[in-house]
Structure 1
């Protein structure tokens, strides 16, 4: 299979701090995504808890196999759709801003800990991850994970491209006034690395944060097959990885690299 129908959830995805509310929002989104024929649902950054937790981050954090991740897996299985969700992950004494991919059978396929923390709020509450590339195969498509600010670094997306990622999934919490990230940078990353990027953002206000919306699917030809506005929305679009060989031949950035020149 070279085509994968993907749904991107843009919204607050539940009330910050209310795990039950966030899981209810995830369940509703998974139901709608499955009804639209999607095989993968991508939700925003920290979708199981909300972003604006303040000093409640540590209390909300759970292990990768904790109650909320298990509930998210059951939702994926119940609706028969793979799901990418975000959550504060507790690992020993550390708390990570993490994302996980579970398959349509509810089995965990990949987990990723945000490697580039944005601003004082995140640096005060989270520990950065140290593994740059997390991937899994989903119905014949190589899916990779990053979180929000990570995609703004050219090195992170290039590492995925070199590792064979075809669809890069990015749960995000992009804030105003940084619309340029969604509108310009994300399509450029897809073009220069010859892969698809599914960028699912939060929207509306949470405490001091004002989220930009503007979720989108960016394609390797520089186009944006699906894009959201400012409000709540469920985007559905096709990822056709069968187009990648021809696109990469026409735009051979990966093969024309000269890595020997790129050392510090």
Structure 2
């Protein structure tokens, strides 16, 4: 068995501040290495600078080797790991910039770099396209390929690296939240269709106009999820609960109204679940459920009518006796107070909704890292199984090849 430990870091860089970002990366390296023995750490795309910088990349891009590369090489040597990260690099000619991924080894040596091939529209204003798909033979942790962001959407990139012997492909990305489902699908697809490990690191937070979705993961050659870091939904939920608590503290008696609202929501959810169950049953069961529902509704309506009738009788009796209807007045007073409370709820909820929307914009998704222990021999075993099937069914395999 050739087992290695891989970590993917989900980090929010500070836009246009390479010094602070490199310090933050260094802290992550120390934290990960102190918690377990790790062989490879993967950071996201353009992690030293942030994404939405346009022409500012001209000032922030560095030569290779340069200050950033030297620092990462030193940190790799300090803790004895391989480190892959993304940054803007430049050639001897100052105007030629690349969106690059770099790999340094545990001896502090630069093992290789990759320039992003598939640039998005806005990236073309700053960067030049790469044209090579290198696979780096590290010996110790197998053959490593690297791709960046939108390269993931093109099957040919991962396939070319696989044909060159890649066993682990590091995907460094700045993938937006609105397209996060595509991200998850692409990562798993590239791993499964090429029988390779995918170590995918996506950043979080926001720059100027773009929000990034995280969901960093490590996928095996059979499509198995080995490690995963979610987008921070739980952290957001906790924050919203705190906001709600603040609102309740301001409102005092409004808490009962909010609790009542929550109960209604739960009741609606329960009814929705019942409907799903009813839809899943055969037609006759569904008909019975509908009939039962109608009977219950009728029963509720009858009970309501009976209650109204009793109220009318009590009011008539009170009028006949010449006494004020204290109960009716109490009910009326209660309704007026309820309306006032409802007004308070609305008054509190309106600014709360606006505050929550603002918080969703500000709140970054969860930073952190995920770690997995993987067996590189799994790549070989799975490919051998496929080749065995290919040998057993040569005619079928040839037909498939012709089709594609």
Whether these two folds match at TM > 0.5 is yes
Contact 1:198 1:216 in 2 (8 A): yes
Within 5 Å, give how 1:195-210 maps onto structure 2: 195-210=196-211
Q: Corresponding residue for 1:220?
A: 221
Q: Corresponding residue for 2:115?
A: 113
Q: Corresponding residue for 1:61?
A: 61
Contact 1:204 1:211 in 2 (8 A): yes
SS state at 2:177 partner? coil
1:181 deviates by 2.7
* Higher-strand-fraction structure: 1
TM-score normalized with structure 1 length: 0.92
1:182 deviates by 2.7
1:257 deviates by 7.6
**CA 1:208–1:20 in structure 2 vs 1: closer, same or farther (change >3 Å)?**
same
Per-residue CA distance 1:125-182 (angstroms, 9 max, x = gap): 1101111234232514111111111121010010011000000001111112111233
1:245 deviates by 2.1
SS state at 1:146 partner? strand
Within 5 Å, give how 1:112-151 maps onto structure 2: 112-118=114-120, 120-151=121-152
Contact 2:3 2:373 in 1 (8 A): yes
**CA 1:78–1:151 in structure 2 vs 1: closer, same or farther (change >3 Å)?**
same
Q: How many Å separate the matches in 2 of 1:225 and 1:22?
A: 28
**How many residues matched?**
261
Contact 1:182 1:215 in 2 (8 A): no
CA RMSD of aligned residues (A): 2.1
1:262 deviates by 8.3
Q: How many Å separate the matches in 2 of 1:103 and 1:163?
A: 20
Within 5 Å, give how 1:112-191 maps onto structure 2: 112-118=114-120, 120-191=121-192
SS state at 1:115 partner? coil
Q: How many Å separate the matches in 2 of 1:145 and 1:240?
A: 19
Of structures 1 and 2, the one scoring higher in RCO (CA 8 A, sep 6+) is 1
**CA 1:123–1:243 in structure 2 vs 1: closer, same or farther (change >3 Å)?**
same
Q: How many Å separate the matches in 1 of 2:20 and 2:118?
A: 28
Q: How many Å separate the matches in 1 of 2:135 and 2:378?
A: 23
1:210 deviates by 0.6
Q: How many Å separate the matches in 2 of 1:140 and 1:40?
A: 8
SS state at 1:127 partner? coil
Q: Rg larger in 1 or in 2? A: 2
Q: How many Å separate the matches in 2 of 1:24 and 1:73?
A: 14
Q: How many Å separate the matches in 2 of 1:225 and 1:28?
A: 24
Indicate whether 1:248 and 2:383 are aligned: yes
SS state at 2:178 partner? coil
Unmatched 5+ stretches in structure 2? 232-365, 391-396
* Higher-helix-fraction structure: 2
Q: How many Å separate the matches in 2 of 1:70 and 1:114?
A: 21
